[in-house]
Amino acid sequence: MRVIALIALAAILAGCGLFATPSPSPTVSASAQATATATAQATATPTPAPTPSPRPNPTAGPGTYTNAGLGYRVEIPAGWRRSQCQTTRGDPKVPFVETFTVGSVDEELGSDIGPATDVVYIRSEDAAGLTAMQWLSSGRLGAGTGQRFESFTFDGKDAARVVPIAGGAPTAIVVPGRGRMFVLSRGQRVFEPNTAVGANALINSFHVLTDAELAGPPFATPTPGPTRTAEDVAGAIAKGFSQKDTTALEPVAWACLTHGVENGGAGFASAAKTLRDLKTLFANGLVVIVSAQPFSDQKTDYAAIKGTWNEPGQPVRTVTFTIVKVGSTWYWDGWIDGPPLTR
C-alpha cells in the first residue's frame, strides 16, 4: 500500500508540473555561492573519529606490561605474572603498590608476614620534590641496620639504592620520574637462583615512560566489574553459606579472600583456593548462618555483616564478613573470626 501511495503521489506531482522539465535557472552570483557554501560548512555535523583499539598489555610473561596511569613499563619474564591479589585495589594513584609473582592464580596465598611465593614490588609515592637520595635519607622507606644508601644511575636517571654493608645485591632501588618516586624491591621466601634471575630481570627492565611514549592509543586495561551494591553482595554471601553453595559466592568474591582473627593475624588466599577449601568444609559438616541485614558496619567503600560459624569439633563462634568497593563494584573480601559464643 505504501508503494501504491507513493506512485499516486508522484503522478499528482507530475500533473502539477513539479516533475516537468525545468526552465533554465537564473545565474547565481559568485558571492551568493560562497555564502551558501560557508553556511553549509558551518552547519555540517563533523563525523566522529573512530575510537582507536587499545594497545596490547599482557599481564603474564613473557611480555611487556605498561601501567599507563603511573607511567612506567616492565618486561615480565616467563613464569611471572602481575598479581591482582597483591596489588593495590582501584585506579593507579599514589601511594600504590603493584606486585608481580611466580605463584599461580589458583594457589596464590600468604600471611601477615608476606606471600608464600617470590614477588617483585613496584611501589609508587609522591616524590615531594626530593631527589632519590634525599627521599631515601628522609626515612620514607624505613630504616634498618646493616645497610647503606648509594647513588647510581638507573633508567638514565639519578637513582639511589639500599645495599647491605656486608655486600650483596641491593634490597631496594629508588627511581624518580613523572613527579613520583618508584621503589623496586624483591621479596624472596627461599633463595632460588632461577627465581632470582627472573626477579632481577623484571626489576632491571623498569622504565619510566615519556609523554611521547604515552601518547597514542590507550593501553588495554581489565574490564570493569559489574555494577552492584553492598546489599547485593551481602545477599549473595548469606545465600551461598546458607545453601552451602560456593557457586553463589564465586561471582561476588574478590581475586583474593582474607581470613583473619579478631585482634590477631590474618592470611590471604586466591578466591579459587578459598572456595575449594570451603566446599570441602561444607561437605564435612560446616554450618554458617549469615544475617544479610543490617550491616554491622558501613562506610563509603566498606561494609560488614555478622554470622555464626559452626564447624564440627570446634566451638561455635561469631564471624564478620567484610565487603569492599573497588571502582563501582562491591566485592566479598573475606571474613574475620570472632570469639566463641557463650552458652
pLDDT digits (tens, 9 = 90+) for 150-162: 999 999 999 999 9
Angle at 265 (CA atoms; ends 247, 87), nearest 5 degrees: 60
Residues 188 and 320 in one domain: no
Residue finishing a domain among 214, 247, 280: 214
Task: Give the list of residues 6+ apart from residue 237 with CB closer than 8 angstroms, or none.
Answer: 249, 252, 290, 292, 305, 321, 323, 332
> Is 131 inside a domain boundary?
yes
Note if the bond before 56 is cis, omega within 30 degrees: no
Q: Residue 280 and residue 311: Cα distance in Å, rounded? A: 12
Residue finishing a domain among 190, 214, 238: 214
Count of C-beta atoms within a 10 Å radius of residue 190: 7
Residues 206 and 256 in one domain: no
In single-letter form, the type of residue at position 173 comes to I
pLDDT at 263 over 60: yes
> Is 165 inside a domain boundary?
yes
Residues 173 and 251 in one domain: no
Residue 226 pLDDT grade (very low, low, confident, very high; cuts 50, 70, 90): very high
Overall number of domains in the chain: 2
> Is 104 inside a domain boundary?
yes
In single-letter form, the type of residue at position 228 comes to R
How much is the pLDDT for 343? 62
pLDDT at 284 over 50: yes
H helical segments located in the chain: 2-15, 30-43, 132-137, 193-204, 211-214, 230-242, 246-249, 271-283
% of the chain with per-residue pLDDT over 90: 73
User: Cell 553492598 identifies what position?
Assistant: 230
How many helices and strands (H and E) does the chain possess? 8, 19
pLDDT at 1 over 70: no
Residue finishing a domain among 163, 181, 214: 214
Residues 197 and 328 in one domain: no
> Is 326 inside a domain boundary?
yes
Mean pLDDT of 140-159: 92
Instruction: With beta carbons less than 8 A apart as the criterion, state whether 170 and 161 touch.
Output: yes
Q: Residue 245 and residue 296: Cα distance in Å, rounded? A: 24
31, with CB counted inside 10 A (0-12, 13-18, 19+), is: exposed
Average pLDDT, the chain: 87
How much is the pLDDT for 92? 84
Does the predicted TM-score (pTM) go above 0.95? Answer: no
Q: Determine the distance from the C-alpha atom of residue 237 to the mean position of all C-alpha atoms in its chain, rounded to a whole number.
A: 23
Residue 289 pLDDT grade (very low, low, confident, very high; cuts 50, 70, 90): very high
Residue 222 pLDDT grade (very low, low, confident, very high; cuts 50, 70, 90): confident
Grid coordinates of 249: 559466592
Residues 209 and 236 in one domain: no
154, with CB counted inside 10 A (0-12, 13-18, 19+), is: buried
Q: Residue 291 and residue 250: Cα distance in Å, rounded? A: 19
Residues 284 and 257 in one domain: yes
3-state secondary structure of 248: helix
Domain enclosing residue 236, as ranges: 230-340
CA dihedral 154, 155, 159, 165 (to 10 degrees): -20
Give the count of alpha carbons within 13 A of 70, CB side only: 29
β-partners of residue 83 are: 99
Residues 206 and 267 in one domain: no
β-partners of residue 289 are: 308
Q: What is the CATH number of the domain that holds 165?
A: 3.40.1000
How much is the pLDDT for 249? 98
Segment 5-37, tens digit of pLDDT? 333 333 333 333 322 333 444 444 545 454 545
Cα-trace Rg, the chain? 31
pLDDT at 303 over 90: yes
> Is 209 inside a domain boundary?
yes
User: Cell 596489588 identifies what position?
Assistant: 87
3-state secondary structure of 258: strand
pLDDT at 323 over 80: yes
Q: Residue 119 and residue 189: Cα distance in Å, rounded? A: 9
Note if the bond before 95 is cis, omega within 30 degrees: yes
β-partners of residue 111 are: 114, 267
Q: What is the DSSP letter of 342?
A: P
Residues 244 and 312 in one domain: yes
Task: Give the list of residues 6+ apart from residue 53 with CB closer than 8 angstroms, or none.
Answer: 217
Residues 268 and 306 in one domain: yes
How much is the pLDDT for 305? 98
> Is 285 inside a domain boundary?
yes
How much is the pLDDT for 143? 72
Residue 44 pLDDT grade (very low, low, confident, very high; cuts 50, 70, 90): low
Q: What is the CATH number of the domain that holds 292?
A: 3.10.450.50
How much is the pLDDT for 19? 27
Residues 197 and 253 in one domain: no
Grid coordinates of 278: 570451603
> Is 317 inside a domain boundary?
yes
Segment 49-91, tens digit of pLDDT? 677 899 999 999 999 999 999 999 999 999 999 999 999 998 8
Mean pLDDT of 285-306: 97
Residues 102 and 206 in one domain: yes
How much is the pLDDT for 45? 64
pLDDT at 320 over 70: yes
Residues 131 and 249 in one domain: no
Segment 172-218, tens digit of pLDDT? 999 999 999 999 999 987 767 677 899 999 999 999 999 999 999 99
pLDDT at 171 over 50: yes
User: Cell 554450618 identifies what position?
Assistant: 287
> Is 224 inside a domain boundary?
no
| CA neighbor of 155 nearest in space, from 189, 171, 129, 178 | 178
